Amino acid sequence: MMVIPEGFAHGFQVIKSNSELLYFHTESYTQKAESGVLFNDKKIGIDWPMEVVDISDRDLRHEKITKKFKGLNTK
């Protein structure tokens, strides 16, 4: 089990084919809170353990971090 603080960026890579991810949230879904950063942005510097081969269209549309970046709006 992992607890991720509210507003904290997170991403996952499944490394076993029979894996499942189950989310529990503190609030109901709101589209206004949907945001993120591009998973392969060099400014984040994540060294993914495996090649990223299956990623949602939504996640592919996230932008890279720029100098104007002040965090993500989660409210």
Distance between CA atoms of residues 39 and 5, nearest Å: 19
Q: How far is CA 21 from the centre of its chain?
A: 13
Distance between CA atoms of residues 7 and 48, nearest Å: 22
Confidence of residue 73 (pLDDT cuts 50, 70, 90): low
Residue 24 pLDDT: 85
Distance between CA atoms of residues 36 and 74, nearest Å: 10
How much is the pTM?
0.68
The residue-averaged pLDDT of 39-53 equals: 90
